[in-house]
Amino acid sequence: MIFLMDLQMMLLDVIYFILRNSVRAVLRPRIKSIEGELVLITGSGGGLGRLFAREFSKRGAEVVLWDVDATANERTARLVREAGGKAYAYTVDVSQREDVYRVADSVRKDLGRHVTVLVNNAGVVAGRRLLECPDDLIETTLKVNCHALFWTVKAFLPQMKTQNHGHIVTIASVLGLFSTACVEDYCASKFAAVGFHESLAHELLAEGADGVKTTLVCPYIVNTGMFEGCRIREEVEMVLPPLEPEYCVDQAMNAILIDQPLVCIPRLTYLPFLSRALLPWESNVVTYRFMGSDKCMYPFMDAKKKHTPNGLKSVSEAVPSQQSR
């Protein structure tokens, strides 16, 4: 009897949340204030990270900037300050656990307060076919895109849970929901990031920490130069062009400010995510071929080869700034 009652309540809740989110898709929900929040952004030296810093600051938040490139990171801080915001720049290699914990302690001591919003934005890609990719580049991709999530969350989540207040944002990728050829390191790391984020969200809800919100952001290719040269079929690209960074951050900020758990940018990319789950493998393969997605990374990899001897870069050359997308 208890089981049947619980089943009935579960089905009613499912229907309620479907209806609620359908209404929210039409009528914009209330936007929360982030004025006075302390927002930490990884990979803030450029790309999306720099834009996130400016957007959060514009809304009254103070930003803590983490990047491995000190010069680029300080430029982001300067841009925020020139616009009237407060920014604190720290040089951090998020792939190094000890570095993350050490600088996290420094942030708490220097600022005398706790980080309330964590934006895990840092990301890299090797851009090599699997058998041509040095092991150290593969390890770097996994450390920056995946392992770093564990270290940063472990560093800042305890205070959020104590206060039952905070927000954890993971900038993943649509390539964490469905894959393509020749970016095994990136896809593996982003699939891991999605799994990490979703498991963390379930853990927070199971433990009653409902004041700590989570948002998973999965953008399509963004024009930041990270995947420069990547091309799908021309006719399809007219409908699904690479995203402008400003548009991507604007959509991500909208999701964060309404506590939206997941956002794919653009919405059209929900379709291949659903088709991957619902259609046979072969159906997805022929769809990829039609769209040109199966070989879309070839021009990207060829372009990287032209700029480096033997098609390889050292880790330091491949990762000048740990910036997502």
How confident is the model at residue 147, as a pLDDT? 98
> What global pTM score does this model have?
0.89
CA–CA gap between residue 69 and residue 92 (Å, rounded): 8
Which residues, including other chains, have CB under 8 Å from residue 271's CB and lie 6 or more apart?
Answer: none
Q: Which residues of 222-232 are buried (b: 16+ CB within 10 A; e: fewer)?
A: bbbebbebbbb
E strands of the chain, at which residues?
38-42, 62-67, 87-91, 117-120, 166-171, 212-219, 262-265
Q: What is the pLDDT of residue 316?
A: 30
In this structure, of 56-65, 90-99, 178-187, 231-240, the range with the lowest mean pLDDT score is: 231-240
- Dihedrals φ, ψ of 110, to 5°? -65, -40
Domains identified in the chain and CATH numbers: 31-318 (3.40.50.720)
Strands 38-42 and 87-91: unpaired
Q: Is 16 a catalytic residue?
A: no
Cα separation of 195 and 197, whole Å? 5
With a cut of 90, say whether residue 106 has pLDDT above it: yes
Which residue among the candidates 186, 220, 247, 298 is catalytic per the annotation? 186
For residue 112, the 8-state DSSP code is S
Read off the pLDDT of each residue in 301-314 and give the average, rounded to a whole number: 56
